[in-house]
Every structure is written in C-alpha cells, then in structure tokens.
Amino acid sequence: DERHPFYGEHQAGISTPPQDHLVFTAFDVTATTPVELQLVLAKWSAAMAELTNGRPVGKVQPARANGVPGDTGEAADMGPHGLTLTLGFGPSLFDGRFGLEKFKPAGFDQLPAMAGESLDPAMTGGDLCIQACANDPQVAYHAVRNLARMARTSVRTRWTVLGFGRASAGANQITPRNLLGFKDGTRNIKTEEDFAEHVWVGDEAGQGWMAGGSYLVARKIHMMIETWDEDPINDQQGIFGRTKQAGAPLSGTREHDVPDFHAAAPGGGPVIPADSHIALAAHENNGGTKILRRGYNFTDGLDAVGRLDAGLMFLSFQRDPEQFVALQRKLGSSDRLNEYIRHVGSGVYAVPGGLPAAGNYYGKEFF
Ligand code: HEM
C-alpha cells in the first residue's frame, strides 16, 4: 500500500505526485489562549504521523463497554492509500489573538481583491487549513474528520471542499482532465530545480519556521458548465490555446510539444491566441514566473436553480503568494476563459517546512 513519509525537510502533499482525491478544510481557531492553540498543533502533528501511516488516532474498539471510541473507525484496516496531510496557517492567525505578530512572514497578508472573483465570505479565509489527499476518498475524509474532532473545543470548521478527481499532474504522471474536458497539468512544475526556484521558501521570509515551506493559494472556482457544453470546439480550443483530445498546443501536434507563442496563423495573428489561457499564464510571457498547480475537480451537486454546481478546486504552491497574484491579475482581466468560470472561494496559507522527527510539532517555534 502506497505511503509517504511524514517526517522530512518539506511537508508531504506538495511535491508528492497528486493523489486521486482531496478533502480541503479551513478552520477558525475559537480558542482564546496561546496554550490552547499550542495543544491543537501538538496533537494534530502527532495524529497526522499516525494517520499517514494508516493507523487510527485512538481505539476503534474501546475495551470498556462505556468507552467512547477514540477513532471514528470508518478507515479501520484500510491502510494509508497514499494519504498526505498538509497544514497551513492563514494570515489571521498572526493578528494578535495569540501573540504571534512577530512570527508573521514579511508581506504575508490576505490576497488583494481581484477581477473575475465574486467571493463568498463563507468559503474564504481561515486561521488554519488542512489539505488531505489520498487515493481513497474515505481515508482522506476520515483523517480530516478525526483531526477536527480531537480539536473541537478549540477550532471550528470554516469551509471545506471535497475533490473527487485530480486535475493536475506531477512528474511521470498521466495528465488528467478538468471538468471542461481539457488535460490539466501538462506544463506543471515537475523538476527538482523548478521546485527549488519557484516552490520552496528559503530564508527570505525572515522566519526560520518557513524554511522548506511554501505558500498555498486555494481558489474554489465555479464553472458555468451548461454554457461551456454548448460552445463549439474551435472556440473551446482557442480559449485554452490547446486541442481538446490530445491536449497539444495549437502550434503543435502532441501534448508535450513546447507551445510556440510566436507562430503565425495563415490569416495573420498568432496560432495560439494572445488572450488564451496558456498564452496569458505561460512563464515565457510572465518574466519566468511559475507556480505548482495541484488542483482537484469538485462538485456540490446542483445550485438553487438546478444547474450543475461544480468546478475546479484550484490549489497552487509557490515560494511567494505574489507569484499567484501576478498571474491571476492578468488572467482575471484578460483570460477568454473568464466567460465560463467564477472564483467563489479563496484562501492563502503559510505552509511551514516539514518536521524533522517525532517529538516536534508545527508551530513549536511560536510558543
Ligand atoms: C495551464 C485549465 C485556472 C495557471 C492550464 C491548462 C489548462 C488549464 C487546461 C493547459 C494545460 C497545462 O499546462 O496544465 C484551467 C482551468 C482553470 C484554471 C479550467 C479554472 C477553472 C488557473 C488559475 C491560474 C492558472 C487561476 C493561476 C492564477 C495556469 C498556468 C498554466 C495553466 C501557470 C501553465 C501555462 C503554460 O505554461 O503553458 N490551465 N486553469 N490556471 N494554468 Fe490554468
């Protein structure tokens, strides 16, 4: 059974090749004292090590008849299924309630308001977040459920998204498709050099606890699926700048052909439209900016008027949230895709570096 080491330089769930399922949950801390927060972080860190090894967080079957099960049990005997649990801290955690102002990384704040979004406060922000990914959905769900349960007097779930299929690719993975039917993750970050340059935080944050960490941006993006499904193929392909079946750039024939943004169409103008998603987002056209995309397809069933309520739970990791902001500013104002999507949820989280060994816990430096 696939398992990923819990201890290491970086938290698992970032460079880990994306697993099939996601449970993303953001929490508000309701505790009022630093020591209560400290206890949550210590308990969670120890429990995460157990869960990612496929072990329960307490007794499923207590010995005494009046004993309440310590673990809720729905993943008993299932194994780890590649589970990773990645913890992040929202900017609001450093607002002064716990005396953590001096641990706030320089420039780490809520994302600025941007075009193309209509954010629901109920799906935005959070003091803490957990990204649970696994190859079995119940294993991921069990992990978050039990972490929330053991901290229920100190944290409250703020928003959560269940992702049912990965919509990004890591090294040596087949590229999956998002709900618009296009291959997603073709030109994602895949090499160690790119991780070092674009994803992992070094000492620039001025905070030792962020070394080896990263910044997670979460965007719940609703898709107008019914409208998209009536759009002709040439328009769909022009929107992305890629073919649908093969996922090839319009300037090439195979998925991994390098897009040529200068190739000219017979009638004039570039073969890959300048306002297509890939032309706007590509590092060649953004001063070298790259981000790691690690998103998932989600559905919440139907909306109030019976349309499909579904889309992309966009998750990206970067060394500086500004990488995302710069790209999204551009996409939000010019991307032809905007006619078919709307950003409805959002969060940015500082993801600390990995724990070196048992006995440590996330945020230990704060107390
Ligand atoms: C590329 C879909 C939102 C950044 C792509 C590709 C697809 C896609 C199909 C081409 C294949 C690939 O290289 O992965 C979507 C959909 C979105 C969405 C359906 C929303 C529902 C975003 C957002 C950002 C972003 C919000 C960042 C702000 C990128 C980047 C690339 C990319 C950097 C790679 C471009 C390249 O280097 O060629 N996306 N995307 N995408 N997307 Fe998105």
Of ligand 1's listed atoms, the one at least distance from the Cα of 289 is 33
Average pLDDT for consecutive 10-residue bins of the chain (367 residues)?
A: 96 98 98 98 98 98 97 97 98 97 95 95 98 98 98 98 97 97 98 98 91 98 98 98 98 98 93 98 98 98 96 98 98 96 98 97 97
pLDDT at 203: 87
pLDDT at 72: 98
pLDDT at 193: 98
Pocket-forming residues, ligand 1, beta carbon under 6 Å: 178, 180, 182-188, 219, 221, 223, 240, 242, 259, 277-278, 281-283, 291, 311-312, 314, 324, 327-328, 331, 341
pLDDT at 206: 85
Asked if residue 65 belongs to a domain, the reply is no
| ipTM confidence | 0.99
What domain range includes position 263?
A: 21-60+70-366
Asked if residue 6 belongs to a domain, the reply is no
pLDDT at 75: 98
pLDDT at 282: 98
Asked if residue 261 belongs to a domain, the reply is yes
Other CB atoms within 10 Å distance of the CB of residue 283: 15
Dmax (CA) of the chain: 79
pLDDT at 204: 84
Asked if residue 131 belongs to a domain, the reply is yes
Q: Which of 183, 187, 335 best tests ligand 1's pocket when mutated (most atoms within 8 Å of CB)? A: 187
pLDDT at 205: 80
Asked if residue 10 belongs to a domain, the reply is no
Asked if residue 82 belongs to a domain, the reply is yes
Separation of 281 CA from ligand 1 center, angstroms? 7
Asked if residue 14 belongs to a domain, the reply is no
Asked if residue 287 belongs to a domain, the reply is yes
pLDDT at 120: 97
Question: How many structural domains does the chain have?
Answer: 1
pLDDT at 180: 98
Q: SS in 3 state form for the chain? A: CCCCCCCCCCCCCCCCCCCCEEEEEEEEECCCCHHHHHHHHHHHHHHHHHHCCCCCCCCCCCCCCCCCCCCCCCCCCCCCCCCEEEEEECHHHHCCCCCCHHHCCCCCCCCCCCCCECCCHHHECCCEEEEEEECCHHHHHHHHHHHHHHCCCCEEEEEEEEEEEECCCCCCCCCCECCCCCECCCCCCCCHHHHHHHCCCCCCCCCHHHCCCEEEEEEEEEECHHHHCCCCHHHHHHHHCECCCCCCECCCCCCCCCCCCCCECCCCCECCCCCCHHHHHCHHHCCCCCCEECCEEEEEEECCCCCEEEEEEEEEEECCHHHHHHHHHHHHHHCHHHHHEEEEEEEEEEECCCCCCCCCCCCHHHC
